[in-house]
Chain A
Amino acid sequence: MMRWRTGFREAVIMALCASVLGFVYTGITRKGVFAAEFSQGPAASRPGEQSSIIHVDEAKELYESGRALFIDARHPFEFALGHIRDAVNIPLGEFEKRQGQIDSLPRDKVLVTYCDGVQCNSSIGLAVRLREAGFQSVRIFFAGWNEWQARGLPVTKTGK
């Protein structure tokens, strides 16, 4: 019984210390919950960002009109497994490395960013970076790949 009591007390102390360290570290380094693209989120984004979130019907309409280029913000491996047909892959974490690809993006089309779905924020992060890079017409398809697939809309799957 004593063993469990000591263990439980020590475990609680460690968990509390870990929580404090985790939040202090991410607060100082502006990562995780304190990262700009996360804290701005889909619900409380920068002016203009909220209105640029589009739903699946609008995404479908843009896709079918040919006026949009879809940009997949996920990891290349996930992109290789499957993506919206004709989409290009610019993982948010590789934005700087992909400068050449970004410069060649069409300026006369609507850029639609997406990632997995509501559980990810990289579509928002990528949209912010593209706007900063001078692209005026950027939309965020926040429901993303999961919703697109669920609707049976055109995809490219290259296997595992």
Chain B
Amino acid sequence: MTRILSNEYNLLTARVFLGVLLVVISIDKIADPASFARSIGDYRILTGTPAMILATVLPWMELLCGLALASGILIRGSSLLVGSLLVVFTLAVVSALLRDLDISCGCFTQDPSADRIGWLKIGENVALLALAAWLFFSENHRFSLDEYIRSRPPGS
């Protein structure tokens, strides 16, 4: 198990998968922050200006983390930030489910008819959280910009 978890190719695959996923899901939200703010408002936790501010900043966090993970730079910070966001998203979904809200997740698309919240969504988030935690605790990121920069001889 340890060998699988520390295998550099497995780590590369996980990193690129999570990175590309984050970039893809951020694009819709960046293009239409008002729709994303409405999705946030649907959770009845934040509304109005706070929801709009979150809708302005959050997609860019996803985009930057995605690019950083895919290219292998600031891996530790990106995976920590993604993990923290996933914890918050999961708590929001749990809270909405407990309040019987039948709403769209707003995670992958801003179309309210798609991507409804449910216990499956929590499973998805937990799987992604595990992926982020794995990347955070791993040392062996051989195919990464971080590693390339570190391995260059000084002065070159």
Partner-B contacts on A (CB < 8 A)? 3, 6-15, 17-19, 21-23, 25-26, 31-33, 35, 38, 75, 77-78, 93, 116, 118-122, 160
CB contacts (< 8 Å) of B41 on chain A: these are: 116, 119-120
Which residue numbers of B lie inside 8 Å of A, CB to CB?
30, 32-35, 37-38, 41-42, 44, 47-49, 51-53, 55-61, 63-65, 68, 74, 76-81, 84, 102, 111-113, 136-137
Among B60, B61, B74, B137, the residue within 8 A (CB) of A10 is: B74
- Chain A's closest residue to B51 (CB) is A119
**In the bound complex, how far is the Cα of B56 from the Cα of A23, in angstroms?**
7
Taking chain A's interface residues, is the majority helix, strand, or loop, or is none over half, making it mixed?
Answer: helix
Specify which of A3, A25, A32, A122 is in contact with B52 (CB 8 Å cutoff).
A32
A78 touching B112, Cβ below 8 Å: yes
**Cβ-defined contact, A31 with B65, below 8 A:** no
Cβ-defined contact, A10 with B48, below 8 A: no
Q: A11-B80, A14-B81 are in contact. List 10 more A-B contacts (CB 8 A).
A: A6-B77, A7-B77, A7-B80, A11-B81, A21-B60, A32-B37, A32-B56, A75-B113, A77-B112, A78-B112
Report yes or no: A10 in contact with B80, Cβ–Cβ below 8 A: yes
Q: Is the CB of A14 within 8 A of B61?
A: yes
Please report the C-alpha to C-alpha distance between residue A53 and residue B53 in the assembled complex, in whole angstroms: 24
Contact B137 A3 (CB under 8 A): yes
User: Which of chain A's residues has its CB closest to B26's CB?
Assistant: A18
Partner of B77, one of A13, A22, A33, A160: A13
Give CA–CA (A78, B104) in the complex, Å.
10
Are the CB atoms of B34 and A35 closer together than 8 Å?
A: yes
Q: Contact check: which of B42, B56, B61 meets A26 at CB < 8 Å?
A: B56
Decide if A18 touches B64 in the complex (CB within 8 Å). Answer: yes
Closest partner residue, chain A, to B82 (CB atom): A11
Cross-chain contact B64 with A21 (CB below 8 angstroms): yes
| A119-B48 contact in complex given A21-B60, A23-B56, C-beta closer than 8 Å | yes
| Residues in chain A near residue B35, CB distance under 8 A | 93
- Complex interface: chain B residues within 8 A of A3 (CB): 76, 136-137
Which residues of B are found within 8 Å of A21, using beta-carbon distances? 60, 64
Q: What are 22 of the A-B contact pairs (CB < 8 Å)? A: A3-B76, A3-B136, A7-B80, A10-B78, A10-B80, A11-B81, A14-B64, A14-B77, A14-B78, A17-B64, A18-B61, A18-B64, A22-B59, A23-B57, A25-B30, A32-B37, A33-B52, A33-B53, A33-B56, A77-B113, A119-B41, A122-B38
A8, B78: Cα distance in complex, Å: 9
By Cβ-Cβ distance, the 7 closest A-B pairs, closest first, are: A10-B77, A119-B47, A32-B33, A119-B41, A18-B60, A77-B113, A7-B80
B81 in contact with A15 (CB, 8 Å): yes
A9 to B51, CA, bound (A): 26
